[in-house]
Chains A and B, each alone.
Chain A
């Protein structure tokens, strides 16, 4: 069971402005944001905060759909192919097609 999060944030290392116990690190998010285009200039302090939560939501949706794919195959292990199925079956995940097609050998 998750607690209110105060204790967990101590363990993970508090960054000011975190929105929860499992928050993605804001500085890292900001760097990734800057890598999205050549002309990204300034980013408000709030934008990475929004992203932190948005990423959690995205992972939530991906996990739910990948989990459904695994269940359909009667598995209790999430495999990459389940993530691939989730991406293929969901229109709004079209931008993720390249992720699940990569097969680094």
Chain B
């Protein structure tokens, strides 16, 4: 897929996946989410749900994990397409966070909006700190900061990594 859209015209994206398989080389061009992270999110949620020492019993079949992963990918497509429409309606070029939040409301996930606003504020705060601290070396500086604050907490790690 040409990211800038150059040279590609007149194609109705009826199914994005079908379009891509035709146009691309045999290697998997469909972007997927990393299995390990999806698995971690799923397991975390299950351990919340099955709290009381039962989480050891709960297993997730590989096909189910794939279904979660694929569902998430389609979710991103669906919300992005909606957000894109919202963005275009406002005659802007750049999809922003607010477009995504509006899209979520539009597709009937209003309960997501509040926690996402919190996460967004958190991100903005962290970013503001980084920007005022240094010009470009944001990641390194943040890791150093986090390392020095977490020194005192080391040793309590009982998580199953």
Contact = CB atoms under 8 A, between A and B. Distances in A.
Q: Interface residues of B: mostly helix, strand, loop or mixed?
A: helix
B99 A47 contact: yes
B75 A53 contact: no
Nearest to A79: B61
Given A50-B120, A55-B75, A37 B154 contact: no
Interface in B36-92: 37-38, 40-42, 44-46, 49-50, 54, 57-61, 63-64, 66-68, 70-81, 83-84, 88
Given A6-B146, A47-B95, A92-B109, 10 more contacts: A17-B123, A17-B126, A24-B37, A37-B81, A38-B13, A41-B4, A49-B97, A49-B120, A63-B45, A77-B60
Nearest to B154: A7
B1 A6 contact: no
Nearest to A70: B58
B84 A36 contact: yes
Main secondary structure of the interface of A (DSSP, over half): helix
Nearest to A66: B64
Interface of A: 1-4, 6-12, 14-17, 19-20, 22-25, 28-29, 31-44, 46-47, 49-51, 53-60, 62-64, 66-67, 76-80, 82-84, 87, 91-92, 95-96, 98-100, 102
B64 A36 contact: no
B5 A54 contact: no
B40 to A, nearest CB: 5
A42 B57 CA distance: 45
Nearest to B19: A38
Contact of A78 (B3, B38, B46, B84): B46
A57 to B, nearest CB: 5
Interface in B122-156: 122-124, 126-127, 130, 138-139, 142-143, 146-147, 149-150, 153-154, 156
Contact of A11 (B66, B138, B161): B161
B22 interface: no
Contacts of B70: 99, 102
Contacts of B124: 46
Interface in B19-42: 20, 30-31, 33-34, 37-38, 40-42
Given A6-B147, A16-B138, A54-B100, A36 B58 contact: no
